[in-house]
Amino acid sequence: MGSQSHPHPHLNGDSNTHIPKKPKLSSLSSSLITEAEIQNEFNHHDPTVARINNGSFGCCPLSIIQSQQELQLEFLRQPDHFYFSELKPGILKSRILIQRLINAHHLDEISIVDNATTAAAIVLQNIAWSFAEGKFNHGDVAIMLHYAYGAVKKSIEAYVTRAGGHVIEVHLPFPVNSKDEIVFEFRKALEKGKENGKKVRLAVIDHITSMPSVVIPVKELVRICREEGVDQVFVDAAHGIGCTDVDMQDIGADFYTSNLHKWLFCPPSIAFLYCRKSPGCIDLHHPVVSHEYGNGLAVESAWIGTRDYSAQLVVPKVFDFVNRFEDGIEGIKKRNHDNVVEMGQMLAKAWETNLGCPPEMCASMIMVGLPACLGISSDLDTLKLRTHLREKFGVEVPIYYRAPKDGEFDVVTGYARISYQVYNKVEDYHKFRDAINQLVGDGFTCALLYN
């Protein structure tokens, strides 16, 4: 780890020269974390709850919480010193680590922001300006997945539709059987977008959709966008880092964001926004304007007014934590994936249902069909059932409503999104299995939740 954390002399410089393309993130094999230590690190989790929903809010180990609190205290002890001497070099260190992890060419391609929602606002705000400044014409097109995250869809409404953009959704099948189905639908939407000579200015593509959760073949979709002349491609990978492969050279998007507080053990709130450096690349700005306005997005984002920056500064400690696992983050990803697939298959078998996608189309989350006899027939049903599972059974898991298509009868209409993270145990999934089995055995249906 030592060689990965040298502060860089230039806050906004190009650190390409001395950084290996793919950092070796695991070198401390002699002090691998033990199972007991893992459980201790997550001792603060409510022991009465089977927490199989890492996807929503992630998790943060106790040792990282402690390091974060030390940083917070350091600031409060002598804020002026912290501000003038610690803050900028600290954020720079974190950016260098992120740059290496995601194989970005230039350090100034990496900005640290609060979360994926903020990153989306940064990218989309610029689209609104392009309409306002006459670079884009009324009716120019933006493409997004039908399963784009709700908050990001709202952002597209606020910044793109309101500015005069025409938004086209890519309808995706679910359950999904192969990535070809996604590619097919994406091409169809793109063709529609280009009808009558219209210009497609932006494609927003999720790397891992939230609900239902599926890994999208982003690399292929980005390539198609390039071939078809789409101006800008923004990948929303809120779940990306620590969950699936995230390599900027390989994926090739213009903009890519991932939270670090979901699958990389950081405390909330931290995400990176990658902006590809290229001739004529776009000048983005943070929506919260402060002293650094105009000094480049990375510098702007490193000071957006007085606030708690500790989540951004604790990144090196998080890398140390990750490196205590066999094969570092790659090992964690692989084991989480293997385990979530195994748990998903176990549940689908127990309930005689199906998975929402083949194992190769999921990362550390997978959709598992719930028994049709539960009578899930609306989004509200899924919310009520989720609450029921939390309150009566101590199981925390989000549920997706999949409306039956015309002619479909007695099909699975509810899918649970299960996550697997290092703190999970088989018993968590057994608890979920048994809760559903009990509901089925009792003749429960969602209609009963309205009495």
Ligand X SMILES: Cc1ncc(COP(=O)(O)O)c(C=O)c1O
Give the nearest distance from C-beta 210 to ligand X in angstroms: 3
Report DSSP state, residue 234.
Answer: E
Contact call for residues 98 and 273 (beta carbons, < 8 A) = no
Q: Does residue 396 belong to the site contacting ligand X (CB under 6 A)?
A: no
Give the nearest distance from C-beta 271 to ligand X in angstroms: 7
Burial of 191 (0-12, 13-18, 19+ CB in 10 A): exposed
Q: Does residue 206 belong to the site contacting ligand X (CB under 6 A)?
A: yes
Q: What are phi and psi of 408, to 5 degrees?
A: -85, 135
* Nearest residue to 122 via CA among 305, 309, 301, 277: 301
Q: Does residue 1 belong to the site contacting ligand X (CB under 6 A)?
A: no
Give the nearest distance from C-beta 186 to ligand X in angstroms: 16
- Binders of ligand X among residues 249 to 288 (CB under 6 A) are 259
For residue 296, give the 3-state DSSP assignment: coil
Site string for ligand X, 91-130 (x = CB under 6 A): ------------------------xxx-------------
Euclidean distance between CA atoms 28 and 49, whole angstroms? 32
Size of the site for ligand X (CB under 6 A): 12
User: Residue 175: is the preceding peptide bond cis (ω within 30°)?
Assistant: yes
Instruction: Decide whether 259 or 364 has the Cβ nearer to ligand X.
Output: 259
The piece of 146-154, 192-200, 287-295, 440-448 that touches ligand X (CB under 6 A) is 146-154
The piece of 222-230, 233-241, 309-317, 405-413 that touches ligand X (CB under 6 A) is 233-241
Pairing mode, strands 141-145 and 166-170: parallel
* DSSP-assigned states of every residue in 7-34: PPS-TT---GGG--SS------GGGPPP
Among 96, 98, 143, 152, binds ligand X (CB under 6 A): 152
Q: Does residue 310 belong to the site contacting ligand X (CB under 6 A)?
A: no
Instruction: Decide whether 151 or 350 has the Cβ nearer to ligand X.
Output: 151
Instruction: Decide whether 259 or 339 has the Cβ nearer to ligand X.
Output: 259
For residue 363, give the 3-state DSSP assignment: coil
Among 32, 49, 65, 151, binds ligand X (CB under 6 A): 151
Burial of 194 (0-12, 13-18, 19+ CB in 10 A): middle
The piece of 69-77, 144-152, 215-223, 311-319 that touches ligand X (CB under 6 A) is 144-152
The piece of 217-225, 232-240, 248-256, 324-332 that touches ligand X (CB under 6 A) is 232-240
And the tokens for 111?
């900005």
Q: Which residues bind ligand X (CB under 6 A)?
A: 115-117, 149, 151-152, 206, 210, 236, 238-239, 259
